[in-house]
């Protein structure tokens, strides 16, 4: 067996679409039989055909899709938060090959969080074994069960002055409560470096497992007990104090730039 992971081409997308169509047809047939039989029996799992046209459209606009080839055949793909192995070739280790590839690349590209939709639900134990957390209560937008993996990043501090910090992320509604509660917080001791910035010991990231981040969410930054900033993610002042956005559109901070 030889395998490689390559960027999608029109020909490879046609090949993938063929087995997605077959999987969807089997699901539709099984579902009809299930209903006709008084809702008894099993329905074949549904794959990602329902999302395929959108995914393919994004690819044509410049978005990436990766194809796993085994002995020249397209047996799996990943892109735009969805991932699938051809149904008749599952449980052969191909999923782990493709998953390890995409996680490593996301880390190398600076991502903070890797989010996916899982379908069918029987694949959930596999993704848990890959370090993903399943969130069954989060709306899936038709892309299967939502799951995520934090791509943690720690930084080595040297001998500079240690400064206590607190970073919190808040929804717009929570921001205006009398005692706003963040959906994510990061605190500890950073290091003040020569240019005056404060290097954090680990990345602080804006991520709410229960819902998508909104540009109307807020970030609050406190240094040495003093609030320096409490503003929307999208504001220039948030960027000025150190907030950045990675390739997966997750806002994060590695350093605080006091103004």
What residue spans in the chain does CATH classification 3.40.630.30 cover? 3-150
Per residue in 96-135, pLDDT (tens digit) is 999 999 999 999 999 999 988 877 778 889 999 999 999 9
pTM for the whole thing? 0.83
Measured CA to CA, the distance from residue 37 to residue 34 in angstroms comes to 5
Burial code (b: 16+ CB inside 10 Å, e: under 16) for 93-117 equals ebbebbbeebbeebeeebbbbbbbb
Per residue in 22-76, pLDDT (tens digit) is 999 999 999 888 888 888 888 887 888 888 888 888 899 888 899 999 999 999 9
Evaluate whether the domain defined by 3-150 bears CATH number 3.50.50.60: no
What pLDDT does 140 receive?
A: 57
pLDDT averaged over every residue in the chain: 91
């Amino acid at each position: 067996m030889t395998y490689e992971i390559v960027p999608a081409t029109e020909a490879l997308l046609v090949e993938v679409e063929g087995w997605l169509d077959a999987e969807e047809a089997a699901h539709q047939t099984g579902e009809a039989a299930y209903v006709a039989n008084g809702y008894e029996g099993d329905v074949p799992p549904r794959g990602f055909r329902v999302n395929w046209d959108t995914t393919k459209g994004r690819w044509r606009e410049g978005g990436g899709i990766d194809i796993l080839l085994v002995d020249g055949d397209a047996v799996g793909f990943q892109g735009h938060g969805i991932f699938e192995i051809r149904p008749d070739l599952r449980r052969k280790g191909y999923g782990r090959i493709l998953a390890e590839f995409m996680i490593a690349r996301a880390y190398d590209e600076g991502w903070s969080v890797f989010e996916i939709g899982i379908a069918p639900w029987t694949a959930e134990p596999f993704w848990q074994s890959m370090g993903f957390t399943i969130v069954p209560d989060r709306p899936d937008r038709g892309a299967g069960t939502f799951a995520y993996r934090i791509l943690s990043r720690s930084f080595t501090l040297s001998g500079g002055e240690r400064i206590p910090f607190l970073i919190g992320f808040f929804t717009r509604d929570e921001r205006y409560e009398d005692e706003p509660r963040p959906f994510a917080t990061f605190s500890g001791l950073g290091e003040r470096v020569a240019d005056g910035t404060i290097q954090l010991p680990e990345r602080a990231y804006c991520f709410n497992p229960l819902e998508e981040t909104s540009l109307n969410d807020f970030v609050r930054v406190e240094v040495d007990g003093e609030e320096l900033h409490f503003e929307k993610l999208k504001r220039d002042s948030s960027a000025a104090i150190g907030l950045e956005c990675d390739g997966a559109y997750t806002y994060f901070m590695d350093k605080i730039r006091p103004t």
